[in-house]
Amino acid sequence: MHTTLLLATILASSLASAPQAARPAVPGAPGQQQQQQVPSPITVAPPLLDLGAVAPGSTNPGKFILINTSKAPVTVRDAIPNCKCTAISDVKGKTIPPGGTLEMTAALTAGQTPGEKEAKVTLVFDGGGAVVAAIKGDVRLAVNAAPAYIDALKGVSRGTSKVRSADGKPFTILRSGARAPAFVGFDPAKDAPRAEYEIAWDFAGVAPTAMPLWWFVFTDRADCPVIPLRVRHENTGSKHDMARFQRYWIIKEALALGGAVGQGKPAEIEIVIEHYNPPKRGAIDRPDWNAVQSVRSLSPDVTARFVSKRDAGADESVLKVEIVPTRAGVIECELEVVTATGSGRVPFAMKALEP
């Protein structure tokens, strides 16, 4: 069951058991304007925990203090993260005395792509009332792009992006957007490597239906071989991958990264698939949606083999995949994941080192 459906069920039960005049109104809930909002006796400190810069794939702990400002004890009925990327301590069923506090720890797992990531935990209390604790972090690489995406919306087909090393050390851009990088104000044949570049991107002549999801920038940095920039375009959003409705799953981050691996050397990556059925509010119509049959590469430059699957609840599965680059150099292609309900493709990028 999706988190949103679980939250709706809990809140509906809470509303049904509370007197009409004392029913809590939860922001965004249907019929909110018709219900009298009940202030929560609990406050959260801080309401937003800003972790600052975090590394991709890292787990970042923090803590919140729940403060009971009332003169009566308050019991936590439930604590519901809106994202599996957030793990919290078990506060469900715990009672906060009048004027007392309760500590709730939370850990945000950063994604692989740069940019700000925010998650929220909704806390519901016996007797009515709910509060939200938010946690966010800015995923940053050793080399970052500004902006951290390609904005090709509303007919825009050309633009530039600045790429800069976080430590100020010079580096080299090897490829950008499946081609040699197009620099602005820099000539690699004459100029020494820099710590910052401005590179151009160009989709002129590319059919809307052929727009890629990602613009990959490859560098010579061992700690940042590839920078994934999401392409924002009308055909890379809701119109992309329409087969997801029939197969009931999506690739969670819409990409897979292999890092830097020696040519001919096997390495393991993870691909997370997530159940998808918005028309029925996440109901699982096909229990075999995550019955993985195979994972393969659609390019001869790399091989891929499905190794194992680990389920994270009923609506998320982590696939372990072995990849082996067959040549040296930068590689970008697609991997195909096949389950009992259908197949889906995921963009893949890595740098293969000389043996």
- 217: nearest Cα among 205, 232, 231: 231
pLDDT at 294 over 80: yes
Listed in sequence order, the residues at least 6 apart from 202 whose beta carbon sits closer than 8 Å to its beta carbon are 157, 158, 177, 182
The pLDDT score that the predictor gives to residue 112 is 87
CB 171 within 8 A of CB 143: yes
pLDDT at 13 over 90: no
- Taking the model in full, what pTM does it have? 0.81
The dotted CATH code for 141-240 is: 2.60.40
The two most distant CA atoms of the chain are separated, in Å, by 77
Q: What is the DSSP letter of 194?
A: B
For residue 219, the tally of other CB atoms under 10 A from its CB is 25
- Choose the weakest-confidence range: 107-121, 147-161, 238-252: 107-121
The token duo for 258 is 């292999």
Instruction: Delimit the CATH 2.60.40.10 region(s) of the chain.
Output: 3-139, 243-355
CB 222 within 8 A of CB 260: yes
Residue-wise pLDDT for 200-234, tens only, equals 999 999 999 999 999 999 999 999 999 999 999 99
Residue-wise pLDDT for 68-118, tens only, equals 999 999 999 999 998 888 999 999 999 999 999 999 999 999 988 888 899
Q: Is the peptide bond before 147 cis (omega within 30 degrees of 0)?
A: yes
pLDDT at 12 over 50: no
The dotted CATH code for 3-139 is: 2.60.40.10
Task: Measure the CA–CA gap between 313 and 42, rounded to whole angstroms.
Answer: 29
What fold characterizes domain 243-355? Answer: Immunoglobulin-like (2.60.40)
The pLDDT score that the predictor gives to residue 6 is 41
